[in-house]
Amino acid sequence: MDDAKKPGLDRRTFLKGAVASAGASAAAPLVVAAADAEAKPRGAKPAAEAGEKKGHVGLEVIDRPGSDFMVDVIKTLGFDYMSLNPGSSFRSLHESLINYGGNKAPELITCMHEEAAVAMAHGYSKAAGKPMAVAVHGTVGLQHATMAIYNAWVDRVPIVMFAGNGLDITKRRPGTEWNHSVQDPALIARDFLKWDDYPMSLQHFAESTVRAYKIATTPPMEPVLITADMDLQEEAAGGSPTIPKLAHSVPPQGDQAALAEAAKWLVAAKNPVIIADRCARTPEGVKHLVALAEALQAPVVDLGGRMNFPNTHPLYQSGKRGLMHEADVVLLLEVADPFGQFNTIADPSKKLTHFANKDARVINISMQDVFLHSNYQDFQRYLPADLAINGDAEASLPALTEEVRRLVDDGRRRAFAERGARLKDAHARSRKRALEEAAVGWDASPISTARMSMELWAQIKGEPWCLAVSDRLRAPRALWSITEHHQALGGAGAQGVGYCAPGSLGVALANKAKGILTVTFQPDGDLNYSPGVLWTAAHHRIPILYVMFNNRAYLHETMHIQRMAGVHKRDVARSHIGTTIDNPFVDYAKLAQGYGVWAEGPVTDPAQLAGVFRRALAVVKSGAPALVDVVCQGA
């Protein structure tokens, strides 16, 4: 008989086999015991023994578990969402959130990987301007979450995380619960957490959670972690714990006298340059920077950690290293890598070149020295500053601008006007050059990233839009009109790949309530870390357009291997080994459809982009996610 037509296992034969093997199996009773243990709430006495009210699993009812109080605490902090991948170490808190808390403020967002849960919160916090909460299974969940926490740490983004854990060994179920317990859950992430605590009472939980929120949202903003002990969650809430009020701290302005001195230098400078990175925390920050730049008619280089300055403004001069050759005073505003603005290290020769004017005086306004950890090296190489001002850049700008305005006399005003006119010309020239560059390979296939970007821009420019990850492609930064703080949200922070897909979804979740259309260019390697985010997008109906920037490779790494092969004088043509994503190609449209997301592609003909983007945007505007797979060249 043909194999496909043979009958399968029939029920009678199956049962006979099962009975015969059950007697010999030592594992069977253990399985039953484990299942039984699974059903009992921790700390609850069997109802028969207790002679008390019965819950639906026949056990003592705990009317008010500690986790209900934890929900009361969490609700005072105003979270809209909490992302999670479920884990029994926080099962009581989870149940309290959905039943006692009504799954509202926060509403749970189901994620398929803890890294995705944290990266979503990272993107959300930047777009919403307030933190999102995350719950993780204390050991294994936190192990998965760590790289995403590190990205948020480097990006100075506040996230409030809760980890479940069981500390008391007499309460732990044998087996898994021991494997998933730890003395100190936060240890694995402590190098990139601003603060953490393991509360031992409900009062302690309330105080530490409110404190954690305040610490996370005080610049420099960073992730924090509170461990919710299983027994504290699951046992009846004792005592009369109270919830302290949340106090927001006012971001610190730099010292007034130091700002006055900085203003003197800037006003007197012939060629001042302003460099901004994670400067604007809010839309006000953009306005403040525009005011300072206009008062000085000074060029602004926006490094793009946040959207700091409109790229349509004539004083926007990003990407112009030549400015630094002439600069006599440089103002750094929350710049992640100050040394890198003056120096470069060639790769692979490691030859150091100081490309800026050697005599330039440096003013650095930053919160970086206020809070650092030693192990991870995100602080970059040391740059001596002539005037180092500890303070929040956004909060310091108005006072600095006031001082500048006070000092500008007619003579300086005339010089500034001339400088402004020169910069206006330079701005127009570089926009023209960017347009010409974008037209190169316009009809090529694989499609150029510039064509892909500009076809999308043509369709979204009339909408309120947001580019969720804005540090990858050059064309949108150079040619889209980026004028509002919410339109460009920087990148992963630490370049840990795997941020773009979930981070963008977190941005889209925040933008949903504001009616902002979220688009993102999604690198292929990045999506493959956590493709389950597509299911989260479909399940929670989060409108977002993922445009796959599919170069079918870990292309940055291909280029590194090429460089090494060149240095070693060996075959460059083999650099695809271990760095490309082909043979077979991944069908991203099918992948997305499998997760319930509308998708089309692969698109290889640039002439088809307009049509496919139109269809995809109609889906997104109806409130659902969509993905378009574009086969691209370049990185």
Ligand X SMILES: Cc1ncc(C[n+]2csc(CCOP(=O)(O)OP(=O)(O)O)c2C)c(N)n1
Q: Which does 496 bind (CB under 5 to 8 A by kind): ligand X, Mg ion, none?
A: ligand X
Residues in contact with ligand X by the rule CB under 6 A: 147, 495-498, 523-526, 551, 553-557, 635
Token reading at 154:
């480097």
CA separation for the pair 569, 522 (Å, rounded)? 34
Task: Give the number of residues written for the chain.
Answer: 635
Of the two residues 308 and 575, which places its CB atom closer to ligand X in the complex? 575
Residue 388 interacting partner from ligand X, Mg ion, none (CB closer than 5 to 8 Å by kind): none
Least CB distance from residue 580 to Mg ion, whole Å? Answer: 9
For residue 560, the minimal CB distance to ligand X (Å) is: 8
Q: How far is the CB of 549 from ligand X (least distance, A)?
A: 7
Q: Which of 525, 543, 601, 625 binds Mg ion (CB under 5 A)?
A: 525
Q: Which lies closer to Mg ion via its Cβ, residue 153 or residue 529?
A: 529
Give the residue from 329, 356, 357, 345 showing the smallest Cα distance to 381.
345
Instruction: Quote the tokens at residue 379.
Output: 């602080």
The nearest distance, CB 112 to Mg ion, in angstroms, is 21
Beta strands in 427-496 (DSSP E): 447-448, 465-467
Of Mg ion, ligand X, none, which one sits near residue 315, judging by CB under 5 to 8 A according to partner kind?
none
Pick one of Mg ion, ligand X, none as the site partner of residue 510 (Cβ within 5 to 8 A by kind).
Answer: none
Instruction: Compute the least distance from the CB of residue 471 to Mg ion, in Å.
Output: 15
- Residue burial 10-43, b: 16+ Cβ < 10 Å; e: rest: eeeeeeeeeeeeeeeeeeeeeeeeeeeeeeebbb
Pick what 556 binds: Mg ion, ligand X, none; C-beta below 5 to 8 Å, kind-dependent.
ligand X
Instruction: Judge contact between 209 and 74, C-beta under 8 A.
Output: yes
446 binds Mg ion (CB under 5 A): no
Q: What is the 3-state secondary structure (H, E, C) of 68-112?
A: HHHHHHHHHCCCCEEEECCCHHHHHHHHHHHHHCCCCCCEEEECC
Measured distance CA(390)–CA(251) in Å, rounded: 11
Q: Which does 222 bind (CB under 5 to 8 A by kind): ligand X, Mg ion, none?
A: none
Taking CB within 5 to 8 Å according to partner kind, which of ligand X, Mg ion, none is near residue 498?
A: ligand X
Judged by beta carbon distances under 5 to 8 A according to partner kind, the member of ligand X, Mg ion, none in contact with residue 68 is none
Q: Residue 534 is encoded by which pair of tokens?
A: 């597509």
| Residue 580 burial (10 A CB sphere; 0-12, 13-18, 19+) | middle
Residue with Cβ nearer ligand X (205 or 549): 549
Alpha-carbon dihedral sign for residues 109, 524, 528, 495:
negative
Only one of the segments 202-210, 323-331, 335-343, 553-561 lies at the binding site for Mg ion (rule: CB under 5 A); that segment is 553-561
Toward Mg ion, which CB reaches closer, 62 or 555? 555
**What is the nearest approach in angstroms of Mg ion to the Cβ of residue 601?**
15
Q: Is 52 helix (H, G, I), strand (E, B) or coil?
A: coil
Binding mask 533-552 for Mg ion (x = CB under 5 A): ------------------x-
Q: Which tokens go with 373?
A: 């950890």
Q: Could you tell which of ligand X, Mg ion, none binds residue 495, using a CB distance below 5 to 8 A set by kind? A: ligand X
> Which is it for the CA torsion 351, 356, 362, 363, positive or negative?
negative
* Smaller CB separation from Mg ion, 338 or 525: 525
Write down the least CB distance from residue 524 to Mg ion, Å: 4
CB nearer ligand X, residue 423 or residue 468? 468
| Nearer CB in complex with Mg ion: 44/632 | 632
Cβ-contact 327, 358 below 8 angstroms: no
Spatial distance between the Cα atoms of 501 and 491, rounded to a whole number of angstroms: 11
Q: Give yes or no for a cis peptide into 348 (omega within 30° of 0).
A: yes
Minimum distance from CB of 255 to ligand X (Å)?
38
Q: Which does 391 bind (CB under 5 to 8 A by kind): Mg ion, ligand X, none?
A: none
**In the complex, least distance from residue 554 CB atom to Mg ion, rounded to whole angstroms:** 6
Instruction: Say how far apart CA 295 and CA 196 lie, in whole Å.
Output: 43
Which CB sits closer to ligand X, 449 or 487? 449
Q: Closest separation between CB of residue 556 and Mg ion, Å? A: 8
Measured from the CB atom, is 219 or 525 closer to Mg ion?
525
* Comparison of 498 and 625: residue with beta carbon closer to ligand X: 498
Closest listed residue to residue 343, CA positions, set 319, 318, 324: 324
Residue whose entry in the numeric block shows the structure tokens 């919710």: 228
Pick what 311 binds: Mg ion, ligand X, none; C-beta below 5 to 8 Å, kind-dependent.
none
Residues 465-524 that bind Mg ion (CB under 5 A): 523-524
Burial class (CB in 10 A: 0-12, 13-18, 19+), 362: buried
CB of 554 to ligand X, least distance (A): 4
> Min. distance of Cβ 555 from Mg ion in angstroms?
5
Would you say 388 or 586 has its CB closer to ligand X? 586
- The pairing of strands 352-354 and 343-345 is antiparallel
Q: Which is nearer to ligand X, 451 or 486 (CB)?
A: 451
User: Closer CB to ligand X, residue 128 or residue 489?
Assistant: 489
Kindly report the number of other CB atoms within 10 A of residue 7's CB atom.
Answer: 6
| Distance separating alpha carbons of residues 499 and 527, to the nearest angstrom | 9
205 binds, among ligand X, Mg ion, none (CB under 5 to 8 A by kind): none
Choose among ligand X, Mg ion, none what residue 557 binds, the Cβ cut-off being 5 to 8 Å by kind. ligand X
Burial class, 4, CB count within 10 angstroms (exposed 0-12 / middle 13-18 / buried 19+): exposed
Q: How far is the CB of 141 from ligand X (least distance, A)?
A: 18
The residues of the shown chain that bind Mg ion, judged by CB under 5 A, are 523-525, 551, 553, 555
